[in-house]
């Protein structure tokens, strides 16, 4: 397989940052594209092209500077994705994954329609053009409580999700195009991160168990092993692999799954990129999801994903008012956990500022170590972040 030396990355947040760091270790050059004046990835990229996710001129400059273009975010402007699809057709520069995949997945209604069309299990849903259309359907009794409203585009970290349990929840419906799906009573949420190479080879990390912050629906913790029976773990991986193969995806993909009381697995969400649920691979495996993504899109052989041992990741969320954020070191007294701090200039309520990873002899011990890491960050930031 030939490898491609310069990788262009659309987006430059924390996911881009760890992609760039992985690129350095692999001897690959990275070029990021962003309109953020101080993005987390800037210090780790070889070059920064200024331009937002809708900026066609910046996308052209990125294509001119790279052998392969990839993404750390899916909410890229449609004209930019259409331009990249043309680039991919001409074959001068590889775009991985295919822009057509992002055109489908960036919109949750299109994503779920794709799942249904491919016979992949997901909660039933109805798309709505706007809140007025949704209200009319609700007046006609379309959705018994509880149900979940999701914005079709641009949602992240639970910000585009509204769970309605009764009439008071009708006061704060989300604006714009949306979908409504049945609330899925689940016993667990699982994540499967996997990579698919150019030749279709698949390597999946062990499934992780995901825990969410109850009020915000934002990821709090990821735990591996997930404590599943071997049969269930196999089914989760098989579902994820079937999905990414059906997409003809190249690169790392992350699936969020619901496990129901009857041991059914439903796909909640597909991300065509590295993902928060895969951050613990920085500790848990020889090849992190970031290195694996670059290997896949650069045409290199995929790396080892064998689990080294129980590992826990905790997100560090800002809980205070909007204010300048301090720099938190990678190690703090009182904890053996590894602190990954994204160096965002400003803390805002519920913003992801970093994460903590810890390994342990058992998941419980790893969780205790990670909790000690979060507590050390809380002390260091005078209660603003943990």
Q: Where does this chain bind ligand ATP (CB under 6 A)?
A: 123, 148, 150, 155-161, 181, 183-184, 189, 212, 217, 219, 256, 268-269
Q: Which is nearer to ligand ATP, 150 or 351 (CB)?
A: 150
Cα angle 261, 262, 263 (rounded to 5 degrees) comes to: 90
Q: Verify binding: residue 269, Mg ion, rule CB under 5 A.
A: yes
Residue with tokens 């160096």: 343
**Residues 12-51, mask of contacts with Mg ion (x by CB under 5 A):** ----------------------------------------
Q: Which is nearer to ligand ATP, 134 or 219 (CB)?
A: 219
Q: Verify binding: residue 189, Mg ion, rule CB under 5 A.
A: no
b/e burial code for range 248-260 (CB count within 10 A of at least 16 → b): ebbbbbbbbbbbe
Nearest residue relative to Mg ion (C-beta)? 269
Q: Which is nearer to ligand ATP, 143 or 338 (CB)?
A: 143
Smallest gap from Cβ 256 to Mg ion, in A, equals 5
Tokens of 72: 């750390």
Smallest gap from Cβ 203 to ligand ATP, in A, equals 22
User: Residue 340: enclosing H or E segment and its boundaries?
Assistant: strand 338-341
Q: Which is nearer to ligand ATP, 47 or 211 (CB)?
A: 211
Q: Which is nearer to ligand ATP, 28 or 270 (CB)?
A: 270
Rounded alpha-carbon distances, angstroms, from residue 379 to 120, 211, 242, 367, 376 = 45, 23, 44, 18, 5
Burial class (CB in 10 A: 0-12, 13-18, 19+), 103: middle
Q: Rg of the chain's alpha carbons, rounded to an integer?
A: 20
Q: Verify binding: residue 74, Mg ion, rule CB under 5 A.
A: no
Q: Verify binding: residue 67, Mg ion, rule CB under 5 A.
A: no
Smallest gap from Cβ 211 to Mg ion, in A, equals 13
List strands edge to edge, sheet with 178-182: 125-128, 178-182, 147-151, 161-164
Smallest gap from Cβ 231 to Mg ion, in A, equals 25
Q: Which is nearer to ligand ATP, 67 or 269 (CB)?
A: 269
Separation of alpha carbons 322 and 344, rounded Å: 12
Task: Give the chain's end-to-end CA distance (angstroms, integer).
Answer: 44
Window contacting Mg ion (CB under 5 A); options: 140-148, 269-277, 315-323, 364-372: 269-277
Smallest gap from Cβ 163 to ligand ATP, in A, equals 7
Q: Verify binding: residue 241, Mg ion, rule CB under 5 A.
A: no
155 binds, among Mg ion, ligand ATP, none (CB under 5 to 8 A by kind): ligand ATP
For 239, left (φ over 0), alpha (ψ -120 to 50), or beta?
alpha
Smallest gap from Cβ 208 to ligand ATP, in A, equals 13
Burial class (CB in 10 A: 0-12, 13-18, 19+), 121: middle
Q: Verify binding: residue 371, Mg ion, rule CB under 5 A.
A: no
184 binds, among Mg ion, ligand ATP, none (CB under 5 to 8 A by kind): ligand ATP
Rounded alpha-carbon distances, angstroms, from residue 138 to 158, 174, 246 = 23, 14, 34
Minimal CA–CA distance to 234: which of 284, 281, 192? 192
85 binds, among Mg ion, ligand ATP, none (CB under 5 to 8 A by kind): none
Q: Verify binding: residue 72, Mg ion, rule CB under 5 A.
A: no
Smallest gap from Cβ 274 to Mg ion, in A, equals 14
Q: Which is nearer to ligand ATP, 182 or 202 (CB)?
A: 182
Q: Are 324 and 345 in contact (CB under 8 A)?
A: yes
Q: Which is nearer to ligand ATP, 137 or 372 (CB)?
A: 137
Binding site for Mg ion (CB under 5 A): 256, 269
């Amino acid at each position: 397989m030939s490898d491609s030396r310069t990788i262009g990355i659309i987006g430059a947040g924390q996911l881009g940052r760890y992609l760039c760091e992985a690129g350095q270790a692999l001897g690959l050059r990275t070029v990021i594209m962003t309109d953020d004046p101080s993005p987390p990835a800037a210090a780790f990229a070889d070059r920064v092209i200024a331009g937002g996710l809708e900026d066609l001129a910046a996308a052209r400059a990125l294509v001119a500077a790279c052998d392969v273009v990839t993404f750390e975010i899916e909410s890229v402007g449609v004209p930019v994705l259409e331009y990249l699809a043309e680039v991919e057709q001409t074959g001068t520069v590889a775009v991985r994954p295919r822009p057509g995949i992002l055109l489908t997945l960036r919109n949750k209604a299109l994503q779920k329609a794709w799942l249904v069309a491919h016979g992949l299990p997901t909660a039933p849903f109805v798309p709505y053009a706007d809140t007025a259309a949704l209200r009319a359907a609700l007046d006609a009794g379309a959705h018994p409580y509880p149900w979940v409203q999701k914005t079709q585009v641009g949602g992240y970290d639970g910000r585009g999700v509204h769970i309605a349990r009764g009439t008071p929840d009708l006061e704060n419906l989300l604006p714009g195009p949306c979908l409504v799906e049945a609330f899925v009573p689940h016993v667990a949420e699982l994540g499967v991160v996997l990579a698919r190479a150019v030749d279709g080879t698949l390597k999946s990390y062990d499934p992780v168990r995901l825990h969410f912050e109850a009020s915000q629906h934002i990821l709090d913790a990821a735990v591996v092993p997930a404590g599943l029976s071997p049969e269930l773990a196999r089914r989760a991986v098989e579902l994820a692999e079937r999905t990414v193969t059906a997409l003809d995806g190249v690169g790392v993909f992350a699936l969020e799954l619901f496990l129901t009381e009857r041991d059914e697995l439903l796909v909640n969400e597909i991300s065509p990129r590295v993902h928060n649920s895969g951050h613990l691979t920085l500790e848990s495996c020889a090849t992190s999801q970031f290195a694996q993504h670059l290997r896949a899109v650069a045409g290199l052989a995929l790396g080892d994903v064998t689990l080294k041992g129980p590992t826990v990741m905790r997100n560090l969320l800002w809980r205070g008012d909007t204010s300048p954020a301090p720099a938190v070191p990678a190690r703090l007294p009182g904890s053996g956990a590894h602190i990954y701090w994204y160096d965002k200039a400003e803390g805002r309520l519920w913003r992801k500022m970093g994460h903590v990873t810890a390994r342990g002899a058992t998941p419980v011990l790893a969780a205790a170590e990670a909790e000690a890491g979060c507590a050390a960050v809380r002390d260091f930031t005078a209660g603003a972040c943990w």
